[in-house]
Structure 1
Amino acid sequence: MSNILQLLDRGKPTLRGWQESDRITAGEAEKMQDPAGDNPRRTATAIPTPFGRMHLLETAFKFVRQQPQGNSLYHRLVAQCWDMLELLFYNKATDAYRLRFVPWAKKEQVDLLVQSREPRIRLLGNTLRLYLADPHFRELDTLYLIFADSRDASGRETRQLLGGTSPFTLVFAHPAVPRLNMQRKGDGNGFYFDNQVVPLNQRSAEFQNYIFGLFEVHPELRQENFAQCIAQFLAATDKGRVQALAEEKPNVATFEQHYEPLRDALGNAVQVRGITLFKQAEAQQKTTSDWFIRFNERVPQTGKIPLVLMPGLDLRRSDYFGGTAGTDQTIIQYGYESQRLEERRLETLGVQYPFLTVNDFLEDRLLEVPFAVNTERFYFGQVQPEPGARPEDRPLRFLLPLKRAWFDYFEPADLDKQLRLTLFDNHVQLRLAVPVTSGREVVYERSYYFRPGPSQGPMPRLMPCAATRPRHPTAAAA
């Protein structure tokens, strides 16, 4: 019995032999399933080259323009293109992923292939020359491969090919582009290249303004043999914005003053057929957050004001940094002792910005002294015995396990509001509530347990200086 091979279930087949079937509709294409039962992440092209990938992405934009909502392979390809352009737009040299642009000069590279002594290499060169005669490539001098370089915690460097530039859609993503451990900007809708469909209208306002503005000030992008598929997509999905920009008539100089050109290792601007690709100027990038430390104004500050973070802090419904919320994958460590404060990068954002965490303010050990300290003449915050015990039964015989860094932002008197020590029979419980600019507090807690054992020598005896006033101007700290 014969079988009819088809991608769709159209009921009982009536075709016999070689007969013309009905054209696949956009709705049917949306419902196509992977025979293996999966939703494919990679697409095969009839031309297994980057050029086939460029054409496929052009087709994807035309498809999504007709059907904006969906989760088809075409929708994901378009989302990857937006991911690439957005990643370039927010790129900074200090980010966790350092972007590198490697030029591929069309004429020079093809000539080298054609002049090779190896027949198969000459054949490749002639094939490329024939393909590059396509109108999209005629005015193109250079394509760029886009790499992302990063280092892991051990210092090992990783280089990943993300994709390249394209005269069809400005950029395209590699078929096997890896998910980056860097959140999308704005609402933090997942991570770059995570195979999720995030439309242009759900991305940051700055990035949308850049895309629409770029196609307005450069009308050549709207030509048939250039990036017309994106221009038509923009006009179809937000006609009002396109018309408003056309009425404003912005010029190139006004548009470009807010941005900086992307550059390769030699300092050349990264261009696609003479159109420069830009990134947002660092001075224009947001530095907002709900978690800036609210320091004592009498303690002068220099440099960037750090964030106050901690393990388990819920950043999902807040401005983590730059207008982007955190995710459940934003995991803060207790300490980053191997990194200087100004060299730290915010987890899952990959942005270099100083932040504080538990080990920056609290020691991991408590220093005991052979006498009850004078809590009337020294700042110890709020000292209380465990529930049910009397203060005289739990005298404080410890120095504060505060590190010097805390005093870079506060005065000793601030301990009365921030610090609470609870004395138990076998441990001391510390609670440090650090205020942040959103009006909340980030609470650091640590319990110090006694470890009885053989004497390690005489206990240090630290005698406090005498004081005539009720409170000494300096807190007692380890």
Structure 2
Amino acid sequence: MSKIFRLYKEGTSTYTGWNETPAFPYNSANRDTIDDPDGASARNEITSIPSPFARIDLVKTAFKEVCKLDRKTKKVELDGKTIFHKMISDALDVGEIFFNIDKYQNKIEIISWDPSIMINALQCDGSDGHLYLADALQKYMKSDSKTYNFDQLQNIYLLNYIDGPDELNIIGATSPATLFFSSANKLDYINDIYFAEDRPFDSEFQPLYKRDFEYVKVWFTLRKAIPSFSTLFPELEMYLNLTFKAITDTKQKNELNNLTAASVDLFSTIDVVSQQQNNSVEVLGHVLYKKSNKPATEKSEFTICLNGKTDSGTLPLVLPIEAGNKYSKLQYTTGKWGTTNVAPYVDDVVELNKRFLPFDGAQSPYLTISDFLEDTIIRVPHTLNKESFYDGNIVIGEAKLSYLLPLKILFFKYFSVLDLLTPLSNGKSMLEMQTVAGGSVRVVLRIPIVGNATVSYIEYSRSYYKERVADIQRNEGGMTEFNFTGLVMPIVKFNNQEDAYYTVSCISTFSRKFNLEFFSGMDKINSILMACRNEDNLETYKAETYTIEKHNFDYIQVSDRNGFCGVLLPKYKNQRNVDTFEFAIDLGTSNTHIEYCKEGEDPKSLFKFSSIIILSLKF
């Protein structure tokens, strides 16, 4: 039985010989009846069109195709898996890279291509091949001048991925027909650029309405700012109309409706210096825009939440170190955090303002677990006086055992001692320590953030293992022992710092050297006198006594020669208003006699006793 092959569906199968087709002449209506056997699959790029500007045409066609009604659903599908959805998604990725170019300045280079200069250079360099290329470019730009707006073209700006596999790695460019278009090459080597949860040029195609709203705004702003936008870019006009309908947030719709041509002031121009020219990136002479210099973290729900404290500059973000859905719905920078993103356990860049946000690339301060917790916890083989010192709410089975708090000084830049001691809004403690099997200690630290209705803090957890060196790349803490004891007198916060007078003693074996430093918040108190008994090593133990005058202090950082540190945190009592007394003590041979007098009154006998009991607040 014979078979008639035809592009369209309709038609009889009983023709004999040559016959006239009812579909002639071919036009756009005929073309729309042709079925793609792959269903417009996005498995392979379309690369067979013999034109140097084929990609510009394909992306223009893609916007047109996606804006059509789907034959099966009879609806417009901005979300989809066809090759047209891929080309649009990739073109939007190119535009979003331009929009966030400040974040990628070490990864992306913008190269300007001026046809009036470059084509002339091809014609004049003496190469036959370059001459033929210049001729082809001129012919196509002239014949397609109206279709693709080549008659108004000034420059094309190309994106070069600096660390790609080749000497030049063009991943996309500006387009005179659709503002942006991407390369048809495989771009899976780009793995260090992120748009919130999305990556450019991947298999998860993102329509405009699902992207960073600031980026959506710049598209709608350009629509207002470019004269005759709908005439120059009819496919984009249709796509933006459908994008507006797809947005469900009424507040966002109202914001888009209120945009005017003057709204370009919300953004910044993209400046390019090359070939002795200083240009602003444009399409057909109309300037394109990037995100303003306003921090992307300004509306992040991961921003640290301070209780009454002030901090100059941009507040850092506090980022989670575990994947999952607990923080997935929180706003990160341009999108949600997602279920797979995790911050590193440690950032090698010490200065916060010089750090780069993970999965974003912007230079902005952020904090992670190792900014708050020490790598190694300090075990002390003595009992801690829990009435006078904070122990991290730990329960210890051994009688003579305690741990210094593994908190870094940076913690106290953002939080006071009162913050640490006060339960969070859900009743949980900010810091919890618990002993686990094998003598290990698990530490949980909860850092308040702006958050949302369900999440108000980031919870960090680190286990410290007995007799093990820390491995922070795996978030495993180490443990070491400080064999010392001592006391603080008095455990009182003075109302007037001028009246403050503290004596702090550290008693240890002569062979060990411990250093005590005293802090008020993050500020170290200097010029502290220290006296040591038994300096000549005649006895096994030594006592080092520190005297702090005219300064209240919040906590003590104890360290050794190896750099291991821990915190002792007194639980001060408030000073009460008291009268002034004078005391006189007679240390007799058999009895001790004490008299006192209140200021302005006669002396009185207090008591006398034959044995003295000394009360001290030891740690």
Q: Which range, TM-score by smaller chain?
A: 0.7 to 0.9
Contact 2:113/2:155 (CA < 8 Å) preserved in 1? yes
Contact 1:182 1:191 in 2 (8 A): yes
Counterpart residue number, 1:421: 433
Distance 1:398 1:247 in 2: 60
Please tell me whether the aligned partners of residues 209 and 246 of structure 2 are also in contact (alpha carbons under 8 angstroms): no
Partner of 1:384: 395
Deviation at 1:276, TM superposition (A): 0.8
Q: Given the alignment of the two structures, is residue 324 of structure 1 paired with residue 326 of structure 2, yes or no?
A: no
Secondary structure of the 1:283 match is coil
**Among candidates 50, 55, 58, match of residue 56 of structure 1:** 58
Residue 275 in 1 paired to residue 278 in 2? Answer: no
Contact 1:100 1:265 in 2 (8 A): no
Give the Cα separation in 2 of the matches to 1:113 and 1:398.
75
Q: 2:270 corresponds to which residue?
A: 262
The reply to whether residue 336 of structure 1 matches residue 347 of structure 2 is: yes
Deviation at 1:269, TM superposition (A): 0.4
Structure 2 counterparts to residues 14-413 of structure 1, below 5 A: 26=32, 29=35, 32-33=38-39, 39-47=42-50, 49=52, 51-67=53-69, 68-69=76-77, 70-89=80-99, 91-95=100-104, 98-133=107-142, 134-135=144-145, 136-149=149-162, 160-176=169-185, 177-178=187-188, 180-184=191-195, 188=197, 190-223=198-231, 226-235=232-241, 250=260, 252=261, 254-266=262-274, 267-283=278-294, 285=296, 287-298=298-309, 300-314=310-324, 317-322=328-333, 324-338=335-349, 340-385=351-396, 389=397, 393-413=398-418
**Alpha-carbon separation, structure 2, partners of 1:276 and 1:301:** 37
Distance of 1:132 and 1:342 partners within structure 2: 48
Q: Give the Å deviation of 1:56.
A: 1.2
Percent sequence identity is 24
1:474 equivalent to 2:555? Answer: yes
Aligned AA (2:272):
D
Secondary structure of 1:400's counterpart equals coil
Distance 1:360 1:245 in 2: 39
Q: Secondary structure at the match of 1:466?
A: strand
Tell me how far 1:160 sits from its aligned partner: 4.4
Which amino acid in 2 is paired with 1:426? G
Distance 1:7 1:291, change over 3 A: farther
Q: How has the CA–CA distance of structure 1 residues 204 and 426 changed in structure 2, closer, same or farther, with 3 Å as cutoff?
A: closer
Partners of 1:262 and 1:54 lie apart in 2 by 22
Q: Please give the per-residue CA displacement for 1:400-424, whole angstroms capped at 9, x wherever unaligned.
A: 2222211211223443332222235
- CA–CA separation in structure 1 for the residues paired with 2:320 and 2:243: 42
Spell out, residue by residue over 1:214-272, the C-alpha distance to the aligned partner (whole angstroms, 9 max, x if none): 2233223333xx4333234435665999xx9999894x4x2321121111135410112
The one-letter code of the counterpart of 2:284 is R
SS in 2 for 1:257: helix
Pairwise CA RMSD of aligned residues? 3.9
Unmatched tracts of structure 2, length 5 or more: 24-28, 70-75, 248-253, 422-428, 470-479, 494-552, 559-565, 567-619
Q: Would the aligned equivalents of 1:150 and 1:159 in 2 still touch at CA under 8 Å?
A: no
Contact 2:225 2:264 in 1 (8 A): no
Counterpart AA for 1:447: S
User: What displacement does 1:338 show?
Assistant: 4.3
What are the superposed Cα offsets for residues 339-390 of structure 1, whole Å, 9 maximum, x if unpaired?
A: 53222223222233222112111122222334333333323221213xxx4x
Q: 1:204 to 1:143 in 2, by over 3 A?
A: same
Going from structure 1 to structure 2, the CA distance change for 1:348 and 1:375 (only over 3 Å counts) comes to: same
Distance 1:309 1:15, change over 3 A: farther
Query: Structure 1's 215 and 310: CA in aligned 2 closer, same or farther, altered over 3 A?
Result: closer
Q: Which moved more, 1:289-298 or 1:464-473?
A: 464-473
Amino acid at match of 1:215: R
Which has more helix, going by share of residues? 1
Provide the C-alpha distance between the structure 2 equivalents of 1:111 and 1:452, rounded to a whole number of angstroms: 70
- Shift in Å at residue 101 of structure 1? 1.6
Change (3 A) 1:366 1:309: same
Partner of 1:331, secondary structure, is coil
TM-score normalized with structure 1 length: 0.80
Residues 82-102 of structure 1, C-alpha deviation per residue, up to 9 Å, x if partnerless?
A: 22223322x152448654221
Q: Distance in 2 between matches of 1:377 and 1:246?
A: 59
Query: Against the structure 1 CA distance between its residues 394 and 419, is the aligned structure 2 distance closer, same or farther, given a 3 Å change threshold?
Result: farther
Cα displacement (A) at 1:175: 0.8
Q: CA deviation at 1:192?
A: 2.3
Query: More deviation in 4-13 or 317-326?
Result: 4-13
Amino acid at match of 1:222: S
Query: What residue identity is the alignment partner of 2:440?
Result: H
Higher relative contact order structure (alpha carbons within 8 Å, sequence separation ≥ 6): 1
Based on CA coordinates, which of the two structures has the bigger radius of gyration? 2
Where in structure 1 are there 5+ consecutive unaligned residues?
none
- TM-superposed CA distance for 1:54, in Å, is 0.5
Deviation at 1:52, TM superposition (A): 0.7
The aligned amino acid for 1:231 is E
- Superposition deviation, residue 330 in structure 1: 0.9
Letter in 1 for 2:45: R
Q: 1:287: Cα distance to partner?
A: 1.7
Aligned length in residues: 449
- Partners of 1:48 and 1:294 lie apart in 2 by 56
**Amino acid of the residue matched to residue 204 of structure 2?**
Q
Quick one: which of 431, 441, 455 aligns to 2:457?
Answer: 441
Is the CA contact 2:381–2:400 (under 8 Å) kept in the aligned structure 1? no
Local SS of the residue matching 2:410: helix
CA contact (8 A) 1:45 1:53 kept: no
Separation of aligned partners in 2, 1:32 and 1:166: 28
Letter in 1 for 2:209: N
Assess if the C-alpha contact under 8 Å between 2:212 and 2:334 holds in 1: no
Structure 1 stretch 302-311 or stretch 277-286: which is displaced more? Answer: 277-286
- Distance in 1 of aligned mates of 2:468 and 2:116: 78
SS class of match (1:290)? coil
Judge conservation of contact 1:288–1:323 (CA < 8 Å) in 2.
Answer: no
